[in-house]
């Protein structure tokens, strides 16, 4: 509703000059009133509502800023390296074992373990020696030989009936028995040289099956053990590896050395000699009796006796080793095989 200003009307409540005292003209008062109404109307106007709406927008803006701040905080938490590290440290492996452990399948029936293969000694997480393991047998070279050399060669007068030596002393010495048959017998000895030095076999690889690890918690398909090396199982004999332990290696537990050096035995052969004798009988006569000749028969009724003049070696011959003397027989082999199968 629009106010209508009437000019020229007298208002008893305002004495003359009141408008001047107010410091503003009538038109100004009217204008002020109209302006005041307009201001009041403005407070309730759409523009006023817009101002109130502006406050709401500021509030919403504050809410939006808070939301953004929350989102930023959330983003910072997801990328914090310390938080990530803590999460990884506390996490378990995908197989259900803690960090530093490995899920090992249950040891198959008939097998031993779990073990790790050490370099000959056991310590740390697997401290106990379950079994010694060897590979690459080095047999060594034994020294074995036999050689024979001729030693002494002699010639002896022999009484065949009594099967004993006959050594005439002086001239025309009687034999040890009557009607003796005498012969020249060659005597020989050998000098042998025998070497028998056994070899010391060894292994190129000496390893150890190390066990005694402390079992951890159960895991998906087995038990948790320290993850320090490939975990294995072992079994005596040449075996096919069980499922889950597919990487197989063969070892030996020991060796057997049956090598021997044949005894050295030398035998002389090919020697020959002869004796120069005087036969004292009814008539005296000389004979030469060779080791290859048959015995010479004496006749005691004729008073046969013997004088030995000399002996001579007519052939030195040689000395020969017995068959197999100074030769190696037997062998050295690895025994008691062991199969070790490890996780791939």
Return the higher-pLDDT residue of 47 and 143.
143
Rg (CA), the chain: 64
CA distance 344 to 154: 78
Q: Is 47 exposed, middle or buried (0-12, 13-18, 19+ CB in 10 A)?
A: exposed
> Under DSSP, is residue 277 helix (H, G, I), strand (E, B) or coil?
strand
Question: What pLDDT sits at residue 7?
Answer: 36
More confident residue, 204 or 70: 204
pTM of the entire predicted model: 0.57
Q: For residues 156 and 115, what is the distance between their CA atoms, to the nearest angstrom?
A: 77
Side-chain half-sphere exposure of 183, counting CA atoms within 13 A: 15
C-alpha 101/C-alpha 217 separation (Å) is: 10
**pLDDT at 1 (0 to 100):** 35
Beta-carbon count within 10 A of 146 CB: 21
Start-to-end Cα distance in the chain: 98
| pLDDT band, very low/low/confident/very high, at 49 (cuts 50, 70, 90) | very low
Cβ atoms within 10 Å, residue 9: 6
> Which whole number is the average pLDDT over 39-50?
34
Q: In 10 A of CB 102, how many CB atoms?
A: 21
b/e sequence 264-299, b meaning 16+ C-beta within 10 Å = bbbebeebbbbbebbbbbeeeeeeebbbeeebbebe
pLDDT, average across residues 247-276: 96
Q: Taking 90 as the threshold, does the pLDDT of residue 204 lie above it? A: yes
pLDDT range class, residue 53, cuts 50, 70, 90: very low
DSSP secondary structure letter of residue 341: E
Of the candidates 212, 201, 328, the residue with the CA atom closest to the CA atom of residue 254: 201
Does residue 166 carry a pLDDT above 90?
A: yes
Tokens 């889950």 correspond to what residue?
A: 244
So what's the pLDDT on residue 170? 86
Give the position of tokens 């066990």.
Answer: 211
Confidence check: pLDDT of 260 > 70: yes
Confidence of residue 334 (pLDDT cuts 50, 70, 90): very high
Higher-pLDDT residue of 258 and 74 is 258
Q: What is the 3-state secondary structure (H, E, C) of 133-167?
A: EEEEEECCCCEEEEEEEEEEEEEEEEECCCCEECC
Residue-level pLDDT at 273: 97
Mean pLDDT lowest for which of 12-21, 139-148, 169-178, 314-323? 12-21
Helices 46-79, 81-90: inter-axial angle, 10-degree rounding: 50
Are residues 261 and 196 in contact, defined by beta-carbon separation less than 8 angstroms? yes
Confidence of residue 140 (pLDDT cuts 50, 70, 90): very high
pLDDT at 94: 55
The reported pLDDT for the residue numbered 58 is: 33
pLDDT tens column, 287-325: 999 999 999 999 877 778 999 999 999 999 999 999 999
Asked if residue 39 has pLDDT above 90, the reply is no
Q: How much is the average pLDDT of 169-196?
A: 93
Beta bridge partners of 207: 133
Cα angle 200-205-206, degrees, rounded to a multiple of 5:
85
């Amino acid at each position: 509703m629009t106010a209508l200003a009437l000019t020229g009307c007298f208002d008893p409540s305002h004495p003359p000059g009141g408008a001047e005292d107010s410091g503003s003209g009538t038109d100004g008062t009217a204008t002020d009133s109209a302006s005041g109404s307009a201001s009041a109307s403005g407070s309730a106007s759409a523009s006023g509502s817009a101002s109130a709406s502006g406050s709401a927008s500021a509030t919403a803006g504050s809410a939006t800023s808070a939301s953004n701040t929350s989102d930023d905080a959330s983003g910072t938490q997801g990328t914090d390296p310390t938080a990530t590290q803590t999460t990884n440290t506390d996490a378990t492996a995908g197989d259900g074992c803690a960090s530093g452990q490995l899920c090992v399948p249950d040891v198959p029936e008939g097998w031993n373990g779990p073990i790790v293969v050490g370099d000959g000694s056991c310590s740390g997480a697997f401290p106990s020696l379950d079994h010694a393991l060897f590979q690459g047998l080095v047999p060594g070279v034994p020294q074995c030989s036999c050689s024979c050399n001729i030693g002494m060669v002699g010639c002896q007068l022999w009484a065949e009936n009594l099967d004993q030596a006959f050594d005439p002393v002086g001239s025309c010495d009687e034999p040890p028995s009557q009607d003796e048959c005498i012969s020249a017998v060659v005597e020989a000895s050998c000098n042998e040289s025998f070497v028998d030095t056994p070899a010391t076999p060894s292994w190129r690889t000496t390893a150890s099956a190390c066990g005694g690890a402390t079992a951890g918690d159960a895991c998906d398909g087995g038990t948790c053990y320290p993850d320090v090396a490939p975990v294995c199982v072992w079994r005596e004999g040449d075996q096919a590896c069980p499922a889950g332990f597919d990487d197989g290696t063969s070892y030996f537990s020991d060796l057997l050395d049956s090598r021997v050096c044949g005894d050295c035995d030398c035998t002389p052969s090919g020697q020959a000699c002869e004796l120069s004798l005087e036969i004292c009988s009814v008539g005296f006569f000389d004979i030469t009796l060779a080791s290859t000749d048959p015995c010479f028969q004496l006749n005691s009724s004729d008073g046969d006796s013997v004088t030995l003049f000399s002996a001579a070696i007519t052939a030195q011959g040689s000395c020969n080793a017995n068959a197999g003397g100074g030769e190696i027989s037997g062998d050295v082999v690895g025994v008691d095989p062991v199969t070790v199968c490890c996780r791939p």
